[in-house]
Amino acid sequence: MASTVPPLRLRALNRAPIRGDRSYVLYWMIGQRRIAWNFALDRAVERARALRRPLVILEALRCDYPWASLRHHRFALDGMRDHRKACAGLPVFHYPYVEPSPGAGRGLLEALAHGAAAVVTDDMPFFFFPRMLEAAARKLDVRLEAVDSHGLLPLRQPDRDFITAYSFRIHLHKHLLLHLGEMPRPTPMEEGSLPSAVGLGAEDGPLREILRRWRPASDDLLSAGAGLEEVAVSRAVAPVPFSGGPAAARRRLRHFLEQKLSRYDAERNDPDADVGSRLSPYLHWGHLSAHEIFQRLAEQEDWTPNRVDESVPKGRREGWWGMSPPSEAFLDELVTWREIGFNAWVRHGEAVEHYDSLPAWARETLADHEDDPRAHCYDLRAFDDAETHDPLWNAAQRELRTEGTIHNYLRMLWGKKILEWSVTPRDALEIMLELNNRYAVDGRDPNSTSGITWVLGRYDRGWPERDIYGKVRSMSSRSTRRKVSVARYLERFGESSS
Ligand SMILES: Cc1cc2nc3c(=O)[nH]c(=O)nc-3n(C[C@H](O)[C@H](O)[C@H](O)COP(=O)(O)OP(=O)(O)OC[C@H]3O[C@@H](n4cnc5c(N)ncnc54)[C@H](O)[C@@H]3O)c2cc1C
């Protein structure tokens, strides 16, 4: 089958055949939770057209994934609500399933796959996903393909590690241009015809028994959370005070491009200015695609690939794209920093979260300073409850607890201080992972790992030696307050805010 999905983004996970006599093509949406700008959906649509079978999208939400809580659930449900609405007018069967209790969803994928001519899913080389995909590949008797739709550079294009952002940027400057023309489709299900999905769930339809056993989430659950109290998921972390889902993501993107981007390079580090895009939760849940962000930015810049300036020395942060300085600064975060984190997971799997995976120089220097006296030392509970002596740190922790993210610059400070105030650097790593993944609605992401391990020296160079940090870069609240303005931030998240 001729495909518009770049071969580098496509992997067959088993050798089972395509079963053209079966009823539908199944897209098992597990990570790239969106129905636009998604190579996996493009592949599923292509399969459905070629096999002349209707398309079923299974969008399931387990209740026992690590750090599952009401916060993460609500955000994911918002996306499912948007998809249900958008799919209502399209020739597709959208099947949102919210597992009510651990294990209740077991068997659903297999049952659906029994009626599928082919199964397409998202390539997710992080966290529990690889194990889940391997298990599915073993069980299914039909072809299972995984498609990578994470970023502008295909996950499996680099065949090496990168130890600095600079070396990754050099790689991008050599290879990225080739992949910029490969865009997923903005509206894949509306371009050309798809076999009708009407009747799949009817009394005599192939999905009838499955829908009876694994009931699709109701509109009330998806939009108003009705019945969410019966879902066995931790109540310990409340939902964030903003909506998830592609519709909210697009509003935020528009607002960023129109109101904030022009100040991004100059004021990004300033918490009071708050000119970051705040798109990381939507990127994490797959509600928004890096390709769509890039496309909108390129339109705003009136940019075409021939603006790339190949004469700029490779690896330099500014100038290569041929865009305005704020846009180039933003792309450096969205592409260089976001995608370097994927590289580590693709190549090393969950080992990248282990302390021993840090660069040797960082482990050595941190070990040299492990016994340095700490003026302040806190355990997980004190950090969690924002009970340190430092009002700025406490404010950042409160932002994490209530908003589900921390302003980018303060996120670095947040991590550096955990390193400084923990008994050992190993404890600091555990505490950062626990708090970040528990509260951050963009947490449990390769960027969580890269941000947290950056605190401990990954992707960085050695700095002048200091107590506790050794040669690992240090940060202080006092100099942060000198460099950037935090008055409004402290008003919002300071002691009196709680
Ligand atoms: C201790 C620590 C923990 C972190 N945990 C997470 C996390 O759980 N999830 C997460 O997505 N990011 C994490 N980061 C990276 C970064 O702080 C956030 O991605 C960024 O603050 C998100 O804000 P934004 O969407 O406004 O970013 P913008 O400045 O608008 O950037 C656009 C996008 O680029 C990516 N990006 C920006 N900065 C970074 C960075 N430093 N590293 C990697 N990607 C980046 C994000 O996808 C972001 O949405 C962490 C950083 C640190 C130091």
pLDDT of 495 reads: 84
Looking at residues 192-198, what average pLDDT do you find?
A: 91
pLDDT of 225 reads: 86
Query: Residues 264-291: pLDDT tens digits?
Result: 999 999 999 999 999 999 999 999 999 9
Query: Residues 322-354: pLDDT tens digits?
Result: 999 999 999 999 999 999 999 999 999 999 999
Residue-number span of the structural domain to which 283 is assigned: 246-346
pLDDT of 191 reads: 81
With bands split at pLDDT 50, 70 and 90, how would you rate the model's confidence at 20? very high
pTM: 0.98
Does residue 194 fall inside a structural domain?
no
With bands split at pLDDT 50, 70 and 90, how would you rate the model's confidence at 192? confident
Same domain, yes or no: 41 and 71: yes
Q: Give the Å distance between the CA of 443 and the centre of ligand 1.
A: 10
pLDDT of 421 reads: 98
Task: List residues near ligand 1 (CB under 6 A).
Answer: 268, 276-280, 283-284, 333-334, 337-338, 341, 408, 411-412, 415, 432, 436, 440, 442-443, 445, 447-448, 450-452, 454-455
With bands split at pLDDT 50, 70 and 90, how would you rate the model's confidence at 493? very high
With b for 16 or more beta-carbon neighbours within 10 A and e for fewer, the 454-486 pattern comes to: bbbbbbbeeeeeeebbbbbbbbebeebeeebeb
Q: Residue whose CA is closest, atom 17 of ligand 1? A: 408
- Domain stops at, among 305, 328, 346: 346
208-211, Cβ contacts within 8 angstroms, sequence gap of 24 or more:
209/111, 210/108, 210/111, 210/112, 210/115, 211/95
Residue of 242, 270, 333 with the most ligand 1 atoms within 8 Å of its CB, for mutation: 333
Same domain, yes or no: 114 and 256: no
Same domain, yes or no: 363 and 475: yes
Minimum-distance ligand 1 atom for the alpha carbon of 444 = 8
- Domain stops at, among 122, 149, 176: 149
pLDDT of 105 reads: 97
pLDDT of 89 reads: 87
Report whether pLDDT(2) > 80: no
Minimum-distance ligand 1 atom for the alpha carbon of 283 = 47
Q: What is the CATH number of the domain that holds 380?
A: 1.10.579.10
Residue of 277, 417, 447, 460 with the most ligand 1 atoms within 8 Å of its CB, for mutation: 447
- Domain stops at, among 93, 116, 149: 149
Does residue 331 fall inside a structural domain?
yes
Minimum-distance ligand 1 atom for the alpha carbon of 334 = 34
Query: Residues 442-481: pLDDT tens digits?
Result: 999 999 999 999 999 999 999 999 999 999 999 999 999 9
Query: Residues 391-413: pLDDT tens digits?
Result: 999 999 999 999 999 999 999 99
Pairing of strands 144-147, 10-12: antiparallel
Same domain, yes or no: 487 and 404: yes
**C-alpha span between 112 and 205 (Å, rounded):** 13
**C-alpha span between 367 and 309 (Å, rounded):** 44
Looking at residues 344-366, what average pLDDT do you find?
A: 97
What string of DSSP letters covers 404-432?
A: SS--HHHHHHHHHHHHHHSSSHHHHHHHH
Does residue 198 fall inside a structural domain?
no
Q: 234 or 1: whose pLDDT is higher?
A: 234
DSSP 8-state class, residue 335? I
With bands split at pLDDT 50, 70 and 90, how would you rate the model's confidence at 498? low
pLDDT of 224 reads: 85
Does residue 191 fall inside a structural domain?
no
Burial group, residue 283, by CB count within 10 angstroms (0-12, 13-18, 19+)? buried
Backbone angles phi, psi at 479, to 5 degrees: -70, -30
Query: Residues 62-112: pLDDT tens digits?
Result: 999 999 999 999 999 999 999 999 999 899 999 999 999 999 999 999 999
- Going from the C-alpha of 116 to that of each of 3, 17, 22, 110, 278, the distances in angstroms are 19, 11, 6, 10, 38
**C-alpha span between 404 and 382 (Å, rounded):** 18
3-state secondary structure of 25: strand
Residues 137 and 13 sit within 8 Å (Cβ to Cβ) = yes
Report whether pLDDT(389) > 90: yes
**C-alpha span between 445 and 19 (Å, rounded):** 35
3-state secondary structure of 393: helix
pLDDT of 226 reads: 87
Minimum-distance ligand 1 atom for the alpha carbon of 341 = 43
Same domain, yes or no: 42 and 145: yes
Q: What is the CATH number of the domain that holds 253?
A: 1.25.40.80
Q: Residue whose CA is closest, atom 24 of ligand 1? A: 278
Q: What is the mean pLDDT of the chain?
A: 96
Q: Give the Å distance between the CA of 454 and the centre of ligand 1.
A: 12
Other beta carbons within 10 Å of 226: 12
